Amino acid sequence: MSVINLAAVLATFTEPWAPRTVATINDYDVRVAKGLGDEFTRHSHPETDELFLVLTGKLTIRMDAGDVDLEPGDLYVVPRGVDHQPVSPDGAEVLLIEPTATVNTGDTPSEFTQRRIVLAAPDQPEA
């Protein structure tokens, strides 16, 4: 396993709401994503919790029970089965931890649904 510089990884892409897997821990992916705007799909993950850690910017997670506002260094876990919608009007960079098979739009496919993108180690091809 190589050292992974998250800022360097985040500098390699611009697409919002398109997570990149930077590492795996057992059956979990460590992903980074850029959030921008407030149009991302409202969804849930019926089988798993989802961890959000804001690296830069501000992210709000809209939920029926109330919004959760996150700033750099803030971490929040959305419980399994809870409908949520991450939004970031001014942009945010986020680290996510979730099972490898988790689809970014959960149980609500949309134009924001992304295939799993695994960043290759320096000496390995992309998966």
Whether 39 is in a domain gets the answer yes
Phi and psi at residue 98, to the nearest 5°: -160, 160
Q: Cβ(80)–Cβ(48) under 8 Å?
A: yes
Structural domain including 80 reads 6-99
Q: Are 79 and 18 in contact (CB under 8 A)?
A: no
Residue 57 in tokens:
């910017």
CB 94 within 8 A of CB 55: yes
Does a structural domain hold residue 21? Answer: yes
18 inside domain: yes
Query: Model pTM?
Result: 0.87
Does any domain span residue 124?
no
**C-alpha torsion sign, points 73, 41, 85, 88:** positive
Place of tokens 């649904």: 113
What pLDDT is stored for residue 124 in this prediction? 39
Output the pLDDT for position 120. 66
Over residues 42-94, the pLDDT tens digits come to: 999 999 999 999 999 999 999 999 999 999 999 999 999 999 999 999 999 99
Q: Coil, strand, or helix at residue 121?
A: coil
Number of domains in the chain: 1
| 16-41 per-position pLDDT tens digit | 999 999 999 999 999 999 999 988 88
